[in-house]
Homo-oligomer: A and B are copies of this chain.
Amino acid sequence: MNDLLVRPRRVYVSRKIEFNAAHRLFNPEWPDSENTAIYGKCSNKHGHGHNYLLEITLSGIVDRNTGFLFDLKELKAILEEEIINRFDHKHLNHDVGELQECVPTTEVLCVLIWDILEQRLRNINNRELALHEVKIHETGKNSVRYLGE
């Protein structure tokens, strides 16, 4: 089966999930005026929120036996445990331990999710499987990508 895969083929597999969270862009080391100047209405006291659309991309060689890069059921379980449990229906400033000393911009959130997933996937025994990209769409207009550089 799968003679097309006799030659190793490197593919990129992406999976989207959504989580709904509140955040406030505010640096407690700065006076309010500085926060307003930098963050505008994103620094409003009680925070606001987003439907964060997260797109995870893995890369690696397709398994000749299964025709899969990686079992999406397993990826879904990892994302449920690491992402949904940590961020969904939470206030990023108050409820996420890893963000206590951070301003939860989309850039920072993207880097944090990379660090969490890269650590988790590193231990999977799979030929060359690697986290390739973490992309977050904060709104329909704005998005941030991080590739581990």
Interface of A toward B, CB cutoff 8 Å = 1-5, 9-18, 20-23, 25, 27-29, 38, 40-42, 44-51, 62, 65-69, 71-73, 88-91, 93-95, 101-105, 107-108, 110-112, 115, 139-147, 149
| A105: contacting residue among B22, B67, B104, B110, CB under 8 A | B67
Say whether A67 contacts B20, CB under 8 Å.
no
Neighbouring B residues of A89 by C-beta, 8 Å? 41-42, 44, 48
Dominant secondary structure at the A interface: mixed
Task: Say whether B107 contacts A62, CB under 8 Å.
Answer: yes
Known contacts A1-B28, A5-B111, then 13 further A-B pairs from the complex at CB < 8 Å, ordered by chain A residue: A1-B27, A2-B103, A13-B143, A15-B141, A16-B142, A21-B49, A38-B71, A44-B90, A46-B94, A47-B49, A49-B51, A51-B139, A51-B140
Inter-chain contact B50/A102, CB cutoff 8 Å: no
CA distance A48 to B49 in the complex (A): 6
Partner of A46, one of B12, B95, B105, B107: B95
On whether the beta carbons of A145 and B14 are closer than 8 Å, the reply is yes
When the two chains form their complex, are residues A142 and B107 in contact, meaning their CB atoms are under 8 A apart? no
